[in-house]
Amino acid sequence: MNKKGFGMLGAGMISGLHADAIRKSAKAELVAVCDVNEANARKLAEKFAPEAALYTSFEEMLKDKRVEVINIVTPNHLHTEFVLKAAAAGKHVLCEKPPAMSLAETDRMIEACRKAGVKFGIFVQCRMREPMRFIKAALDGGRFGKVLRVDAVMKWFRPADYYKMDAWRSNRKYGAGVTIQHAFHYIDLLQYLMGPAANVYAEMRNLAHPEIKLEDTLDAEITFANGVKGFIQASTALWPGNDVRIEIYGSDGSAIMEGAAFKLWKFKEERPEDENIRQSGDATQATAGSDHAALPSEDHQYVIDDCVDAITAGREVCIPCSAVRPSLEIALAMYQSDKLKSEITLPINEKGIWD
């Protein structure tokens, strides 16, 4: 099988995970790396794809005919301009989360990719983690019965140095802060499971990082349109940092994914496959609770492989940007709620959200 050529845009901290996933993929090949910081691009290519072409200009990489998919791994506030340029050049796009810093930008990107007829997927890769796939399938099959609660608990730790590594990591307008940068994955998981939100209430605090002007702690309540409530506790202030827990409780069964494995998988009516399902995932796999770079590459690889399959089959990717837009709206509503000290009813008016 001919592998699809991937061009990596951004060769910083998390790009190694993407490059590793592409290297392990039987369907994708890293043919180009672009970064304004040439040393970063060179270092990434040397480690993962010595044959890859190196660029410091995105426009130049877009001209490279071997590049069919642009894999965007730049800071959060820079995603939009690159997605728009990639679409205009007729390239498929996989972009890191959050899609953008506003719904208006997100809509522009979705529309541009739709018009250009290119795929546009987002790396909220936790959706594809093995235990989560079992939870989603059981939910869609009605196995939980009436869903009563969904919660996300992210008690992580990031030292002051983490926020000082790059300027964007401590600037809210650039997409820093525990809500949009870290908890986004788990806001997204709850939205993935429950659908769009009706109301959001959030409180944000800085508990342990006086050197930055950002929230390092989020406590939020989401009332989903289906009436189910979900609570999110998320922090990067809580040393030493633990694995994330995603909990779903229903009238007929409950499940807890902790890190990359199951903590609980229990239904009133046990099925023969349940014991195998309980053993799925990897309980030894670090999931960034205390180390920002300690993440599995399998989930990214799933998204990358799926994108190639989607291109070949002419179908939608597994996590299209349009499916992540409601998660971004919830995150933005959280910032509004904290600012206004009141519950926010969706849809939001995002004007002035980052002022």
Ligand X SMILES: NC(=O)c1ccc[n+]([C@@H]2O[C@H](COP(=O)([O-])OP(=O)(O)OC[C@H]3O[C@@H](n4cnc5c(N)ncnc54)[C@H](O)[C@@H]3O)[C@@H](O)[C@H]2O)c1
Of residues 113-142, those binding ligand X (CB under 6 A): 123, 125
Strand pairing category for 197-205 and 217-224: antiparallel
Smallest gap from residue 37 Cβ to ligand X (A) = 4
Token pair for 30: 């890293």
Q: Which of 8, 15, 152, 323 binds ligand X (CB under 6 A)?
A: 15
Q: Are 108 and 82 in contact (CB under 8 A)?
A: no
Q: Are 264 and 253 in contact (CB under 8 A)?
A: no
Dihedral angle over CA of 244, 249, 255, 257, nearest 10: -10
Which residue type is seen at 130? E
C-beta closer to ligand X: residue 25 or 76: 76
Smallest gap from residue 79 Cβ to ligand X (A) = 6
Q: Which of 7, 10, 121, 259 binds ligand X (CB under 6 A)?
A: 10
Dihedral angle over CA of 313, 318, 323, 327, nearest 10: -160
Q: Which of 4, 53, 67, 75 binds ligand X (CB under 6 A)?
A: 75
Which residue type is seen at 218? L
* Interaction of residue 296 with ligand X, rule CB under 6 A: no
C-beta closer to ligand X: residue 147 or 295: 295
C-beta closer to ligand X: residue 101 or 228: 101
* Interaction of residue 34 with ligand X, rule CB under 6 A: yes
Give, as one character, the DSSP assignment of residue 245. E
Of residues 40-59, those binding ligand X (CB under 6 A): 40, 58
C-beta closer to ligand X: residue 149 or 164: 164
* Interaction of residue 76 with ligand X, rule CB under 6 A: yes
* Interaction of residue 177 with ligand X, rule CB under 6 A: no
* Interaction of residue 318 with ligand X, rule CB under 6 A: no
The residues near 187 (Cβ < 8 Å, ≥ 6 apart) are 152, 179, 222, 232, 327, 330, 331, 334
What is the rounded CA–CA span in Å between residue 312 and residue 331? Answer: 33
* Interaction of residue 61 with ligand X, rule CB under 6 A: no
* Number of shown-chain residues binding ligand X (CB under 6 A): 25
Residue 46 φ/ψ, nearest 5 degrees = -55, -40
Which residues in this chain contact ligand X in the complex, by CB under 6 A?
Answer: 9-15, 34-37, 40, 58, 73-76, 78, 96-97, 123, 125, 166, 181, 295
